[in-house]
A = this chain, B = another copy of it.
Amino acid sequence: MRILRVLTNKKAEFIDITAAVAGAVSEKATTFGLCCIFCPHTTAALTINENADPSVTRDILTYLEEAIPAGNSFSHQEGNSDAHIKSSLFGNSLTVVIEDGQLKLGTWQGIYFCEFDVPRKRQVYVKTIDSDSRACSAEDLSRRG
């Protein structure tokens, strides 16, 4: 597993971590398989969305701010229940296919770390699983034996 460090700068912000995730996949030399990307925080999330026009993520953040405003109507004393709600709505784990050693994303897709609370040091876990293991199934072993 590789741990990425993410430094956030605002109360609510999307940070493109696509290149960092791709770097972690390259290090592991997984040619075919799955990449699991996990956010170990409860007031942040991960999402995949457009990385061409920055107005898209800006519109998503504007929507979330209006739909789930931070405020005093929640019982949790820390005052960041809105961030916890956004975290559960967007989710903490993503699974992306790896083909030919590359993350198999769509043309316009980027992987984003979503900060919903205050700026701070965050982490993202990246774990790859090989699907090449079929090359050494029990059947293959007996054939080779």
A97 touches B55 (CB 8 A): no
Are the C-beta atoms of B59 and A104 separated by less than 8 Å?
no
> By the criterion CB–CB under 8 Å, are B40 and A127 in contact?
no
* A136 and B127 form a contact (CB under 8 A): no
Indicate if the CB atoms of A76 and B93 lie closer than 8 Å.
no
Interface residues of A in 116-145 (CB under 8 A from B): 123, 125, 127-138, 140-141, 144-145
Contact B36 A59 (CB under 8 A): no
Chain A 50-75 per-residue mask, 1 if CB under 8 angstroms from chain B, else 0: 10010110111011000110000011
Do B134 and A42 touch (CB < 8 A)? no
A9 within 8 A of B: no
Q: Which residues of A contact B (CB under 8 A)?
A: 1, 32-34, 36, 38-42, 47-50, 53, 55-56, 58-60, 62-63, 67-68, 74-78, 81, 84-85, 87-97, 99, 104-109, 123, 125, 127-138, 140-141, 144-145
Known: A63-B74, A91-B91, A92-B94. 8 other contacts (CB 8 A): A34-B129, A38-B96, A40-B107, A63-B85, A93-B96, A129-B129, A133-B136, A140-B141
